Amino acid sequence: MNTTNRVAWFVFVALAIIIGLYPLVYVFNGEFGLLVSKSDTLKADLFYNIGFYGHILFGGLALCIGWSQFSKRLRTANLKRHRIIGRIYVIAVLISACCGIFIALNANGGLISTLGFISLGLIWLFTTLKAYRAIRKGDLSLHQGMMIYSYAACFAAVTLRIWLPLLLVVIEDFTTAYRVVAWLCWVPNMIFAFFWIRRKGLIID
């Protein structure tokens, strides 16, 4: 691995871990981030709270551990550990994605944001489950390809936090910026994943 790739890998892992741990801030400080913009009625709703914390905590877990599955050195060093982490990742995604789809119904920015985040949740679910089914059937190529798509969707948590401040500088209106970032946080990720999969020569049926 050359110097450029090492730096890129370090940044990738650092962002995944930092943003993956970010939801813990909500645990110790409930009135924080997006929750500040929500109504008191919504913040008092039991089901919304279950959905919100289920989404950010399990999504954070998936983000924190998912990157390790792409390290060939870590993967080959202990295949049993790779499988255990993989199972934890799948469970975390199932919970986080379902909760994310539910809370997207009350996303800032209305219908445009709601559709963007629901689409992300569905794609994250589909690619993760297909990756799991593929490895159960012994289709390593399809498994690897779908896991790339899955983690690209998971990494939307990172890219959202990169894009949103930039959009606010340009657009200067939070609602409009949030409508844009509801799509911008994941669509480019999936495009990148598509070309990465093609470069690796993986077969996606």
Predicted local confidence at residue 3, as pLDDT: 81
Cα gap 123→106, rounded to integer Å: 19
Segments in the chain forming alpha helices (H): 3-21, 24-28, 40-43, 46-66, 72-77, 79-103, 111-136, 140-154, 156-171, 174-184, 187-200
Q: What are the CA-CA distances from residue 179 to residues 111, 117, 124 (Å)?
A: 9, 10, 19
Regions of the chain short of the pLDDT cut 50: none
Q: How many domains does the chain have?
A: 1
Predicted local confidence at residue 38, as pLDDT: 84
Q: 10 Å Cβ neighbour count for 72? A: 7
Domain that holds residue 17: 3-200
For residue 1, give the DSSP letter: -
CATH number, position 12: 1.20.120
Predicted local confidence at residue 72, as pLDDT: 83
Cα gap 9→12, rounded to integer Å: 5
In a domain, 185, yes or no: yes
Predicted local confidence at residue 36, as pLDDT: 79
Predicted local confidence at residue 43, as pLDDT: 84
In a domain, 205, yes or no: no
pLDDT in tens, 147-190: 999 999 999 999 999 999 999 999 989 999 999 999 999 999 99
